[in-house]
Structure 1
């Protein structure tokens, strides 16, 4: 396949679109959203621009698609950033004007349900950026995490290689966004433990593809946006799971289906995000969180053994639903150096 093209980057002082292509949660949880907008303005020097559906719950797929079109078509808008994810962005995809978007490529930042739009942009030949949503990363309680901030700043403003590093700490226990006290301090962090490597005997460099595993499973079921296996030959797969905490068995089944479709073996390297292991519905203790992560890791290894035994994998990379979070270029170049234990992305 032809490698996707990196859109021009914004610079401080530029206008950026803030959209809700999935859920209009800024309407009911304004505290992290307004904090994120303030940080984009004060710390990044950007000028956020909201659209009709940005702060509205229950907007139709057509309305959300119209905002995407307006943001991409406006020459004054230099990047597009998602407010947050959701669970129905797949319904927006059929309403997108591919020619309009292809003619006006711009950096798009988001993750989780935004895997839908990132996959769509990949198919249009446009590099996107998996990570850095307004409410979750820019609106983080207390302060923007330095690891997240450095990665987001590099993804937004710079071009070229960026080496990921292993943070010493992380957190995945949330506090209620409706309470002002939540935003007065940072959440307690815990030791991160570093990355875990599987089959690190070689160096793999390729175009990245992937995102949230549950969303990819939905796209596979709907037969929407997933190309023939040959299109992914030599690509670097990256995956992460959400706050819905899919079990190891669920993870295995999605990967098994990818294997049966002939997809999994096309990827010589896999970056697996640090699994989120706590939610308000399932407030797991430390032992339960460790068991959840171990179960997911075992499931991935089981699927690789069955369908892609030569694939190199790195576990607990800080991408997706974790804090801190690094931004992964979606369709950009990723180099996974097994012998040196290094991961370098190209923004």
Structure 2
């Protein structure tokens, strides 16, 4: 077994194919417990299906490599259309993990689509009474947002269990989930990360300054799909973070327009835009707006700190990030400083 502070990307890198593209904040009197070596953690598939038991077994190997004991939900590896079982089955697995006293945290195996379908089926009384770290990203954004609105304890926006866990992903996750640190996450130095694609690691300050607020966000399309529902938390004074994958520029335009028209953007204290992976149109000789131009149009007029290029999203070695706790963002340096731990 490797040192738990080392990268586990070598074990799980082959599993990357598993990842595809309201009310006030609920507040809890307690936070999720930190993870310890030997802890049992739940594996659920609340959205899309995996490719069967062999890949689930590979994910279990990854979790074991973290020093944890994987416990798959009853319906993991099921399939119902493009979903990992019926809505009732997927909700039952999540409810069961939060009701199970032997389970200390819950990992999503993968994203895809489907988390929003199970939100009305979740047992929020049981979830609120049993704070546990929920880990995942992409479509898991729907759960992060609903937990912020209904559960009241923080979660972790980071790789799904079936994704590659590179050094940055694993080290930041360790600091959040195992050490319980109040950490600062600077943007990695572009000169030392990838000489062939330095723009991947480069921060662009849209409006300078620092801002403090509760960190809330995730995938842009999943978030905008929850606008107007009771599962979206209030963004008043929040630090909004966003990422996207596989959406053409006009679709990003449409979603940012929706957030603006719904009044979300005018509420926030700052915005962090991560990676927009493969967000380009396939139209030859495209002459429309670029993603940076769209961000300038929608975010610069807000008069709050905003930066683009954070190491968040559908990219390898993404940052594991706390959701639902107070942070300070610095749009000049591209850093995120936690003001409280995510787990205790």
Instruction: State whether TM-score is above 0.5.
Output: yes
Taking the aligned partners of 1:327 and 1:263, their CA distance within structure 2 comes to 24
SS at match of 2:187: coil
What displacement does 1:63 show?
A: 0.7
1:239 and 1:341 map into 2 onto residues whose CA distance is 14
Which of 130, 139, 142 is residue 157 of structure 2 equivalent to? 130
User: Could you tell me which residue of structure 2 aligns to residue 225 of structure 1?
Assistant: 231
Cα deviations by residue, 1:57-94 (Å, 9 ceiling, x for unpaired): 21111111111111001111000000010112111111
Counterpart position of 1:304: 299
1:57 is matched with 79
Tell me the distance in 2 between the aligned counterparts of 1:328 and 1:216. Answer: 17
What residue is the counterpart of 2:249 in the other structure? 248
For residue 214 of structure 2, the aligned residue among 207, 210, 218 is: 207
Task: Specify the alignment match of 2:62 in structure 1.
Answer: 39
Among 10, 23, 47, the residue aligned to 1:22: 47
Distance 1:75 1:189 in 2: 47
Counterpart of 2:205 in 1: which secondary structure?
A: strand
Deviations 1:279-308 (A, max 9, x none): 9x97x9xx99xx99x822221221124xx5
Q: Distance in 1 between matches of 2:50 and 2:193?
A: 25
Report the counterpart of residue 72 of structure 1 in structure 2: 98
1:159 maps to 2:186: no
Q: 1:98-113 to 2 correspondence within 5 Å?
A: 98-113=124-139
Conserved? CA contact 2:115–2:142, under 8 Å: yes
Distance change in 2, residues 1:220/1:207 (3 Å)? same
Does the 8 Å contact 2:247/2:279 carry over to 1? Answer: no
Q: CA deviation at 1:226?
A: 2.3
Q: CA RMSD in A?
A: 2.8
Distance in structure 2 (CA, Å) of the matches to 1:14 and 1:48: 9
Go from structure 1 to structure 2 and tell me whether the alpha carbon gap of 1:233 and 1:72 turns closer, same or farther (over 3 Å shift).
same
CA distance in 1, matches of 2:116, 2:293: 29
Q: For the residues of structure 1 that align with 2:76 and 2:193, how far apart are their CA atoms? A: 29
Could you state the TM-score of these two structures normalised by the residue count of structure 2? 0.81
Gap regions ≥5 residues in structure 1: 172-187
What CA deviation, in whole Å up to 9, does each residue of 1:191-250 have, x standing for no partner?
3342111211x32111111111011121126x24125xxx322110000102xx112221
Measured against aligned partners, the alpha-carbon deviations of 1:294-338 in whole angstroms (never above 9, x if no partner) come to 822221221124xx5212112111112111111121101221124
Cα distance, 1:342 vs structure 2: 2.8
Could you tell me which residue of structure 2 aligns to residue 86 of structure 1? 112
Contact between 2:158 and 2:169, CA under 8 Å: does it hold in 1?
no
Which segments of 5 or more consecutive residues in structure 2 lack a partner in the other structure? 1-23
Q: TM-score, normalising length from structure 1? A: 0.80
Paired with 2:26 and 2:91, the residues of 1 have a C-alpha distance of 26
